[in-house]
Structure 1
Amino acid sequence: MTSTTGLLAATAVLGAGTFAFRFAGPVLRARVTLSPRVERLMALAVVVLLGALVATASLTEGHGFAGVARPTGVAVGGLCAWRKAPFVVVVLAAAVTTAVLRLLGAH
């Protein structure tokens, strides 16, 4: 099998698998009932996974610590979001905070 053929086959298999997972959700939702406890745990799992993603993206760069500027910008953006600021304000506050700290020499 050539590399092009293998790449096309892998793409087709991954596409079919993705479609199957997306299709199975609505189809099986009517057939599978979850207890309220499991539904609550699933909701908490989503929050934990998103928190881990934010922590990883804001605290690390490559294989090391990202520096002080990026986590501070994320914290300022999070504070603005918590205070229910508009999304544009949240993004701009985080970006400006990070940029100013990097301009001042913090990395």
Structure 2
Amino acid sequence: MSVWIAIAVTAVGCYLVKLAGLLVPGDVLERPLVRRLAALVPVALLAALTAEQTFGAAGSLTVDARAAGLAAGALALVLRAPFLIVVAAAVLVTAGVRAIGG
């Protein structure tokens, strides 16, 4: 039963956050600082998700083949490679490290 309570609380919380966003005056949203912060929120969330998926395993910090793949993808980005090349480099390095490691 506690799962359904968690689902209900989450649903109500999401609705209240959406309602709070609708109640914010328009002039507040047009401020340059608010606009810059709003533009950075998706980047920060994606970076946090990437870090959690790369270095987290069973509630602990883990460095494995995924970290090597992330480094290869980051290097490809620094070298301004096209997106598909970035993904391919990350996949190939991750697979290679896993194959070498056993």
Q: TM-score, normalised by structure 2?
A: 0.64
Aligned length: 100
Alignment of 1:7-86 (within 5 A): 7-30=3-26, 32=28, 36-37=32-33, 40=36, 47=43, 50-62=46-58, 63-67=60-64, 69-82=65-78, 83-86=80-83
Q: Give the structure 2 partner of residue 96 of structure 1.
A: 92
Cα distance change, pair 38–27 in 1 and its aligned pair in 2 (3 A): closer
Would you tell me which structure has more helix in proportion to its own residues? 2
Cα distance change, pair 29–81 in 1 and its aligned pair in 2 (3 A): farther
- Structure 2 residues without counterparts, runs of 5 or longer: none
Percent identity between matched residues is 34
- Structure 1 residues without counterparts, runs of 5 or longer: none
Aligned partners of 1:9 and 1:24: how far apart in 2? Answer: 22
Higher relative contact order (CA 8 A, sep 6+): 1
Aligned partners of 1:17 and 1:74: how far apart in 2? Answer: 34
Task: Give, in angstroms, the shift of residue 15 of structure 1.
Answer: 0.6
Task: Give, in angstroms, the shift of residue 84 of structure 1.
Answer: 4.4
Larger CA Rg, structure 1 vs 2: 1
**One-letter code aligned to 1:70:** R
Q: TM-score, normalised by structure 1?
A: 0.62
Can you list the C-alpha shifts for 1:5-42, whole angstroms capped at 9, x where unaligned? x4434322311210221232243151535754565566
Q: CA RMSD in A?
A: 3.1
